[in-house]
A and B are shown apart, each in its own frame.
Chain A
Amino acid sequence: MTRAGLAALLSHWRRNPLQLFTLVVGLSLATALWSGVQAVNAEARASYDAAAETLGEGQFAQITSPTGSIDQSTYIALRRAGWQVSPVAEGRLEGIRLIGLDPLTAPGGLGPVDLSDGELTVNVLLSGVLFATQATLDRLPPLDVATQASTEVAPDVILTDVGTAQRLLGLEGQLSRLIVAPVQPKTQPPLADIAPDLTSRPPQAGSDVARLTDSFHLNLTAFGLLSFAVGIFIVHGAIGLAFEQRRPVIRTLRALGFPLRRLVALIAVELLALSIIAGAIGVGLGYLVAAALLPDVAATLSGLYGASVSGTLQLRPEWWLSGLAIAVGGTGLAASASLYRLSKMPLLASARPRAWAMQAGQGRLWQGVAALALLVLAAALAWGADGLVAGFGMLAALLIGAALALPLILDRVLAFGASRARSVMGEWFWADTRQQLPGLSLALMALLLAMAANVGVSTMVSSFRLTFTGFLDQRLASEFYVYADDAEQATALRAYLEPRVDRILPIQNATQDIRGVPSEIFGPTPDATYHDNWQFLQSAPDAWARIEAGEGTAINEQLARRADIAIGDAVIIAGQPFDVLGIYGDYGNPIGQALITEATFEALYPDITPLRFGVRMDPQGVTPLSIALRDDFGLAEANMINQAGIKAFSLDVFDRTFTVTGALNVLTLAVAGFAILMSLLTLATMRLPQLAPVWAQGLTRARLGRIEVIRAVLLALLTAALALPLGLALAWTLLAVVNVEAFGWRLPMFLFPLDYLRLAVFAVVAAVLAALWPARRLARTRPADLLKVFSNER
């Protein structure tokens, strides 16, 4: 009996391959969208986890110096006093980060190569071998040290012993920082007694790199959430329609004595098999999507945050398993509702045309209540809740609430249209469109979410770009930038430049923690360049004048938000208190920043000599000057940067940053378009009994086909009109809630009407393309098939 039932169920797909195709493709695309985003996330996360491990930050307390350099004798003094500390020397070798550790004193678990495990590794490291990925090693020039490829080390990082690192970096006798072991003797003297100029930084929950790259991944996760929501709607629609299409068969099987429970079990097994097949295809597609996007993601991360992502994609079990789980789980979720309805639907009622959609329509009241409740929840979270979780909660409540409300709003709009119709055709058109709504609502919800995501994300990205461009204009005000290799060259360079340019602005900085936040201290020369171009987000009266008089400091927004610093608060810089007189936007900078005037800086950091200079001059003179510097002065090309070049480079990095989000947007919209096609194709067959009488009464098939296209355009336009406010609300959430929580700064929100118009055109084109095939099929339906509707009529 089971075989006969299964054969009957499966024979439906054999005879209707298009329906099977749409079901499998719908499931596959939903899975692909999800697993593609997850693959990119998993790959990048794995890479910068390795980076964070390599840095050793986050796990251990560290001792640092305001000058960025610790004398080796201080380290020895600390060890002799009983401090369990381990030295680290780091710097850049041919642009690659080189980290030197001491395997004998390093705490267990530090670094990707576990130093606590096995003598061989310790011995190998002690012998001065450079560990790095093969790709990193390939970029190194010939060196007099041995190398060993390791996949455990982050890209663009070389790991070696501290002595080798000091030699290669020219840091003999100097250390960059000290790592403090978690267990220390109780009798050790305080740090201030041995090295008063050093500060101890407690272990952090996450390193700066990890925290910042995490924030980018929050953006991707938000897309993952959106793509998941779109995917779930598509899966739900596909499964629901699969039930609807086979309802007569199911009814006949039950009438012929096939037990309901076994029928439900068979359908469940069949859907499980289909979801596994479609899930596997989807994971494969997702892999291709991820592989296509990964170079951009890598560019994004390294551009914005300085983290490295290896360019190769690995088949990580967690993401292909999660992809399959989404396919199977999503199918299970969607199917359980349909199976439940099937088990509860009376046998004789179950073959009514479009019974599934009618049944769905009956839940309208509950759908309305749920939509309203979710929208109220979203408003409440926006009003009173803080934190990233609340931000994402608001995002989810807003999106799902709006999606649930969509069919109800469309129904009301169509009812209004019907009440205003004057011609009989108009009346029929509105009423017929309204009747189709239950069958199309899931696809339209998917379209709504896809479009809202598009509006929201493009608003965020474009707002970001606009702000960032203005910010670059402020920050890169000098026409020309030059870099000296050492203090001696810096002095000569200044002397060479002085008679040839308008003004020279030294750029000097030191590093220290301000209220626990890693920060850079800058000491600019008092100059109109700064007060003309740098605009404060908040400031005290006469802020620039007072800063230039050495009365206070200005800090960036990240530092203000992270350390909860307001105007008028005091911060300690190099042991001296400074009042915060201004807070400025500092988009894209991962760490804190504070400005004090040049004289104060020189007093606090006498050892620091500026090696970089901004040069104010006639822009026309930049090229001749750079040629003269190269030929007469002997300055390397790499040490000269034209301001226009920096701007172009910065904008290029920024544009690449969001290429990935653009690609995901297009993909999401395409998948939503496919959902409409799938629904229209399925409904087309079921709608013959509704269309045949209209055809019989004098409408041509071609006209019926054209009306189908107009209907799709109308529904797409209505959905677009609702997607716009939803998308703007989404953008606001991303800019004002998620961005602040994740990145530490709030961006102004700009509107881009032309972009929205273009999106609406895309949506209409997608709807037209989706409607064309069913409409063409309808226009070519044989009269005999339309007549069958009457011959089969009860």
Chain B
Amino acid sequence: MLLSVSDLTKTYPGPDGQITVLDGVSMTMDAGETLALTGESGSGKSTLLHLVGGLDQPDSGRVDIEGVDIGALDDGGRAAIRRDQVGVIFQQFNLIPSLTVASNIAFQARLAGREDAAWSADLSDRMGLTAQLTKYPEQLSGGQQQRVAIARTLAARPKLVLADEPTGNLDEATADTVMTLMLDLVTETQAALLMVTHSERLAARMARRLHLRAGRVA
């Protein structure tokens, strides 16, 4: 089992006291599996993704990646998990604006010590980014930036890809193209994909679906 989430709880302070965002969520994923995380706004999808990626810490419960309880790790340990095992694709792309497209794509692989120039070039080619490699993120369209973000994640060959509405900023046709590319590459690299989405159409293309309602698995 690649990912195991058990009895996860997370609250945030609100104007009228604590707000429970996740309330005892449990789930598992195997290597190579694709899973759509759906639910209404505020149902806790993004929070669950952040906890799985070690970007935030739960109030209670645990997250295991390949048997390692990431809640028990210190900041450096969680950073290592993000760097070596997990890849996160954000809705906002979060590219490094001062680096070129080529440097952005190679960036996480270099952090993880797994830089593979041929693989990065192949990814760039399949993402249609070869002509953009020397440009900076601000010179690209939203769809192109998202493809750079996906290429950056996959270039590091993570075991688990976490995607937070990766096509949320794209039009339908571009979203379909990006989705197809992402699914193909995930399959090819045998990575598991946990994707937050509002789109029924995109969720349908995943192997499994988990629906959250008010912080619980529906």
Contacts and interface: CB of A to CB of B under 8 A. Distances in A.
Is A bound to B? Answer: yes
Interface of A: 1, 3-5, 7-8, 11-16, 248-249, 251-261, 346-348, 351, 791-792, 794
Contacts of A348: 50, 55-56
Contacts of B96: 8, 11, 249, 252-253
A252 B98 CA distance: 12
B98 A259 contact: no
Contact of A257 (B50, B56, B79): B79
A467 B84 CA distance: 76
Interface stretch (B110-118, B126-134, B191-199): B110-118
Interface stretch (B20-28, B86-94, B177-185, B206-214): B86-94
A4 B136 CA distance: 17
Contact of B76 (A8, A259, A351): A259
A791 B142 CA distance: 8
A12 B112 CA distance: 21
Given A15-B97, A15-B136, A257-B86, 14 more contacts: A1-B113, A8-B98, A8-B107, A12-B97, A255-B55, A255-B94, A256-B108, A257-B108, A258-B83, A259-B75, A348-B55, A351-B94, A791-B142, A792-B92
B82 A255 contact: yes
Nearest to A260: B75
Contacts, number: 87
B75 A257 contact: no
Interface centre among A3, A14, A260 (most CB of B within 10 A): A260
Interface of B: 50, 53, 55-56, 75-76, 79-84, 86, 88, 90-92, 94-99, 103, 107-108, 110-113, 136, 142, 169
Contacts of B83: 1, 256-258
Nearest to A4: B110
Contact of B88 (A13, A16, A249, A255): A255
A244 to B, nearest CB: 15
Contacts of B76: 259-261
Contacts of A347: 55-56
B56 A254 contact: no
A15 B108 CA distance: 20
B98 A249 contact: yes
9 contacts: A8-B96, A248-B94, A256-B108, A257-B79, A257-B108, A257-B111, A261-B75, A348-B56, A791-B142
A256 B111 contact: yes
Nearest to A252: B94
Contact of A258 (B56, B103, B111): B111
Nearest to A256: B108
A249 B97 contact: yes
Tell me the interface secondary structure of chain A in the complex: helix
Contacts of A251: 94
B99 A11 contact: yes
A327 B95 CA distance: 33
B99 A257 contact: no
Given A8-B107, A11-B99, A257 B112 contact: yes
Contacts of B113: 1
A8 B99 contact: yes
Nearest to B93: A792
B111 A346 contact: no
Contacts of B98: 8, 11-16, 249
A47 B88 CA distance: 66
B95 A257 contact: no
Counting from the closest, the 3 A-B pairs by CB-CB distance are A257-B83, A257-B82, A11-B98
Contacts of A3: 110
Contacts of B111: 1, 4-5, 256-258
A14 B95 CA distance: 16
A503 B169 CA distance: 100
A16 B98 CA distance: 8
Contact of A254 (B50, B79, B86, B142): B79
Contact of B92 (A4, A11, A794): A794
A1 B84 CA distance: 12
A259 B92 contact: no
Contacts of B86: 257
A791 to B, nearest CB: 6
A259 B79 CA distance: 5
A346 B75 CA distance: 11
Contacts of B107: 4, 8, 256
Nearest to A254: B79
Contacts of B90: 255
A746 to B, nearest CB: 58
A254 B82 CA distance: 9
B5 to A, nearest CB: 18
B142 to A, nearest CB: 6
A497 to B, nearest CB: 85
A252 B95 contact: yes
B96 to A, nearest CB: 5
B80 A259 contact: yes
Contacts of A248: 94, 97
A257 B94 contact: no
Nearest to A263: B79
A256 B55 contact: no
Contacts of A16: 98
Contacts of B169: 791-792
A36 B92 CA distance: 48
Contacts of A346: 56
Nearest to B106: A4
Contacts of B53: 255
B108 A794 contact: no
Contacts of A794: 91-92
A588 B154 CA distance: 79
Nearest to B109: A4
